[in-house]
Amino acid sequence: MSASTPLPRTEDSADTPGGVPLDRREEWIRLREHRDRLGATHLRGLFADDPGRAERYTLDVGSLHVDYSKNLVTDETLRLLNRLASVTGVARLRDAMLRGDHINLTEDRAVLHTALRAPRGTVVRTDGHDVVPEVHRVLEKMAGFAERVRSRTWTGHTGKTVTRVVNIGIGGSDLGPAMAYEALRPYTDRGLEFRFVSNVDGSDLNEALIDADPERTLFVVASKTFTTVETITNATAARNWLLAGLEAGPEAISRHFVAVSTNADEVEAFGIDTANMFEFWDWVGGRYSYDSAIGLSLMVALGPERFREMLAGFHLMDTHFATAPAERNLPFLLGLLGVWYGGHFDAQTHAVLPYSHHMARFPAYLQQLDMESNGKSTQRDGRPVAWRTGPVVWGTPGTNGQHAYFQLLHQGTRFVPADLIGFAEPSPDLMEGLSAQHDLLTANMLAQGQALAFGRTEAEVAAEGVRPDLVPHRTFPGNRPTTTILAERLDPSTLGQLVALYEHKVFVQGAVWNINSFDQWGVQLGKVLAKRLEPALTEGADVSSLDPSTAALVRRYRALRGR
């Protein structure tokens, strides 16, 4: 590939109504031509031509070491991608976000999750108002509460200490705390039990309560709006269970229920004392909220100090994102790689493969973060997009996935870029002897990156004496890109760094694609229809207005339920 001539500087903003659509931008077209020139260029060839890429294509930020050399990129690709970021105004939009502008246009809101981890004394204004003092006031209140539960001085209605904490929330009010609790389990108070209930399927709450003692159970009802039907339904059932179990009246609620919300009126209407409410603000999106009061259960588990270490990790990545030049900026880099693969390799999905059992919920957490943010097909100014936006994000921890779907990753017909995430140190609290397994875990992660990138040629397979008719079956094409994130250890700070990295990666992609990453109108229709359909499931309800398929399913359900 030859380097092409420098691009003209076109700094017009993609989010200006009537601005140049992404796919007609000079830089996008250059990328397409570059992609055509790359053709079937193989990672084997890229490494053979440029062995230095292994060292050059790495970035170290905080405790994260990122090796992106096994991606289908060259210096020219990266130059073009950075030009694309520049002309689509990514840095400008980032700065607007960080200074509190209402960049969430459809909801007319600021997007200030970065203020949640701003150190005390930093000034972050939105609508003329510095939000950092409020953030720290709530953090202090959370810390006071967490310490009381952890020190066993918070007692229930009958004077007994709490042993089980049940977080009731869904989406951003569940996935973050649940993921982080699992990720940081070695740092939690193992004398307390934590359950995360989200599903409106009664089985979820049932499993959390079936062996619980009402006298020793504390509920954290987490809901930004406090109107989410799943959460309010589960919280109501939990309240009934508690009062029945205690044989007490509503006066018992204040010792067993606390709320996390932006909506004091609804919290009060539910019967929770607003003195036991931990607030956050409309400038915190649900999927960007677990470092706000939504992390209350997590703070009880970890303790305030560890929680603050996590916030410091977030802040470290925020500072990097805000200040590092685009070409050495990790969120820019990961975001642009996704833009490259989605736009020019037609990648439909992106796999996140943590080689850490504690990170089991991380891909599920990223699903909401990424897919609710960038699963959009309307540009910021209302025009439809004509390019790929957010991918399907998925994954499970290694090595389990290797014995499930890795076959497809290696030899299937799909193109699936992947992130491999590993930690140099094993969990700090492993029983004797188990740390020895860590090298095997890490070797597997590295081996997968190798195999996906370089594969195994027919000649190599044949040279091993494999029967000729089996050679094609045992050949690995390789050329499947991965990014390896190798951190020192999975601790609160590192988790904060990782989450902030992905938050900002999603931001970069949304900015390039010219979509609003901060609304989620696409979840509304299903909610509205479910509300309308529920009465149709009762005996004798009229289903004539439903579409024929749904009406038939309703009739079948009713028949099965004897209605």
Which residues are annotated as catalytic? 372, 403, 527
Question: Which lies closer to ligand F6P via its Cβ, residue 278 or residue 332?
Answer: 278
Pairing mode, if any, of strands 217-222 and 164-168? Answer: parallel
Site for ligand F6P (CB under 6 A): which residue of 104, 223, 427, 475? 223
Please report how close the Cβ of residue 230 comes to ligand F6P at its closest, in angstroms. 8
Strands of 80-223 (E only): list them.
Answer: 125-126, 129-130, 164-168, 193-197, 217-222
Question: Which lies closer to ligand F6P via its Cβ, residue 170 or residue 490?
Answer: 170
Which one of 171-179, 251-259, 382-390, 417-425 is the stretch in contact with ligand F6P (CB under 6 A)? 171-179
Q: Which of residues 5-64 bind ligand F6P (CB under 6 A)?
A: none
Which one of 159-167, 220-228, 346-354, 461-469 is the stretch in contact with ligand F6P (CB under 6 A)? 220-228
Please report how close the Cβ of residue 554 comes to ligand F6P at its closest, in angstroms. 24
Question: Which lies closer to ligand F6P via its Cβ, residue 263 or residue 329?
Answer: 263
Q: Among all chains, which residue has been given the structure tokens 């200490």? A: 161
Site for ligand F6P (CB under 6 A): which residue of 113, 287, 315, 344? 287
Q: Which of residues 347-386 bind ligand F6P (CB under 6 A)?
A: 372
Question: Which lies closer to ligand F6P via its Cβ, residue 431 or residue 528?
Answer: 528
Question: Which lies closer to ligand F6P via its Cβ, residue 171 or residue 313?
Answer: 171
Q: How many residues form the binding site for ligand F6P (CB under 6 A)?
A: 14
DSSP state of 25: S
Pairing mode, if any, of strands 64-67 and 482-487? Answer: antiparallel
DSSP state of 369: I
- Helical H segments across 21-89, by residue range: 26-38, 43-49, 53-56, 75-87
Tell me how far apart the alpha carbons of residues 90 and 84 are, in angstroms, rounded to a whole number: 9
How far are the Cα atoms of 200, 372, 389, 391, 518 from residue 522, in angstroms, in the given order? 20, 8, 14, 15, 12
Residues 6+ apart with CB under 8 A from 41: 1, 72
Q: b/e map of 293-330 (b: 16 or more CB within 10 Å)?
A: bbbbbbbbbbbbebbbbbbbbbbbbbbbbeebebeebb
Site for ligand F6P (CB under 6 A): which residue of 22, 64, 132, 170? 170
Please report how close the Cβ of residue 221 comes to ligand F6P at its closest, in angstroms. 9
First to last CA, the chain: 69
Please report how close the Cβ of residue 148 comes to ligand F6P at its closest, in angstroms. 24
Which one of 130-138, 170-178, 233-241, 304-312 is the stretch in contact with ligand F6P (CB under 6 A)? 170-178
Q: Dig out the tokens for 273 from the structure.
A: 């004392």
Q: b/e map of 342-367 (b: 16 or more CB within 10 Å)?
A: bbbeebebbbbbbbbbbbbbbbbbbb
Please report how close the Cβ of residue 541 comes to ligand F6P at its closest, in angstroms. 27
Q: Dig out the tokens for 559 from the structure.
A: 């028949």
Question: Which lies closer to ligand F6P via its Cβ, residue 224 or residue 388?
Answer: 224
Please report how close the Cβ of residue 288 comes to ligand F6P at its closest, in angstroms. 9
Site for ligand F6P (CB under 6 A): which residue of 74, 104, 217, 231? 231
CA nearest to 511, candidates 390, 416, 393, 367: 390
Site for ligand F6P (CB under 6 A): which residue of 62, 172, 303, 496? 172
Q: Among all chains, which residue has been given the structure tokens 């000034």? A: 123
Q: How many CA atoms lie within 13 A of 74 on its CB side?
A: 21
Give me the 484-523 binding string for ligand F6P, x by CB under 6 A, dash otherwise.
Answer: ------------------------------------x--x
Q: Is 171 in the site for ligand F6P (CB under 6 A)?
A: yes
Mapping DSSP onto H, E and C, the string for 468-531 reads HHHHHHHCECCCCCEEEEEECCCCHHHHHHHHHHHHHHHHHHHHHHCCCCCCCHHHHHHHHHHH
Please report how close the Cβ of residue 374 comes to ligand F6P at its closest, in angstroms. 13
Please report how close the Cβ of residue 349 comes to ligand F6P at its closest, in angstroms. 21
**What is the amino acid identity at position 414?**
R
Q: Is 225 in the site for ligand F6P (CB under 6 A)?
A: yes
Contact, 156 vs 129, CB < 8 A?
no
Tell me how far apart the alpha carbons of residues 492 and 17 are, in angstroms, rounded to a whole number: 42
Question: Which lies closer to ligand F6P via its Cβ, residue 286 or residue 401?
Answer: 286
Question: Which lies closer to ligand F6P via its Cβ, residue 340 or residue 365?
Answer: 365
Site for ligand F6P (CB under 6 A): which residue of 79, 195, 224, 306? 224
Q: Is 286 in the site for ligand F6P (CB under 6 A)?
A: yes
Which one of 149-157, 194-202, 224-232, 444-452 is the stretch in contact with ligand F6P (CB under 6 A)? 224-232
Which one of 41-49, 166-174, 401-409, 453-461 is the stretch in contact with ligand F6P (CB under 6 A)? 166-174
Residues 6+ apart with CB under 8 A from 537: 554, 557, 558, 561, 563
Question: Which lies closer to ligand F6P via its Cβ, residue 14 or residue 175?
Answer: 175
Q: b/e map of 419-434 (b: 16 or more CB within 10 Å)?
A: bbbbbeebbeeeeeee
Q: Dig out the tokens for 441 from the structure.
A: 């875990």
Site for ligand F6P (CB under 6 A): which residue of 173, 373, 396, 509? 173
Question: Which lies closer to ligand F6P via its Cβ, residue 167 or residue 173?
Answer: 173
Tell me how far apart the alpha carbons of residues 276 and 164 are, in angstroms, rounded to a whole number: 18
Please report how close the Cβ of residue 233 comes to ligand F6P at its closest, in angstroms. 11
Please report how close the Cβ of residue 145 comes to ligand F6P at its closest, in angstroms. 19
Residues engaged in binding ligand F6P (CB under 6 A) = 170-173, 223-225, 228, 231, 286-287, 372, 520, 523
